[in-house]
Amino acid sequence: MAAAFDAQHVPPGAKLELYIKKSCPYCRQAMAFYDAAGTPYTAYDAQNDRDARAKMFAYSGGDPTVPAIVVNGSYVQSGWGSPPQG
């Protein structure tokens, strides 16, 4: 069973992927949070890149909410904040 992660507490060395829309304020908040924390991530444009969007849907079970957050290949959540919004 995959480990459960909290979107705001990503383990050091984990592979963090964000599926975003560039115009999304919640996506910008998530990226600013990880930048400030020094947590490296890869951001994929789920709005304009069909392959990225397909991967996001595969991880999220079809949820179109961004940002979609994936850690070490495991889907964590869609949206940002408490409660997550996107």
pLDDT digits (tens, 9 = 90+) for 30-60: 999 999 999 999 999 999 999 999 999 999 9
In this prediction, residue 8 carries a pLDDT of 83
Q: Residue 85 has what pLDDT?
A: 78
Dmax over Cα atoms in the chain, in whole Å? 35
The average pLDDT across 63-67 equals 97
Question: Per the structure block, which two tokens stand in for 50?
Answer: 């069909």
The pLDDT-based confidence of 5 (bands split at 50, 70, 90) is low
Q: In this prediction, what percent of the chain has a pLDDT beyond 70?
A: 94
Closest residue by Cα to residue 7 from 62, 86, 82:
82
Ramachandran angles phi, psi of 45, nearest 5°:
-80, 95
Which residues share a beta bridge with 58? none
DSSP label at 21? -
Which CATH fold topology does 16-78 show? Glutaredoxin (3.40.30)
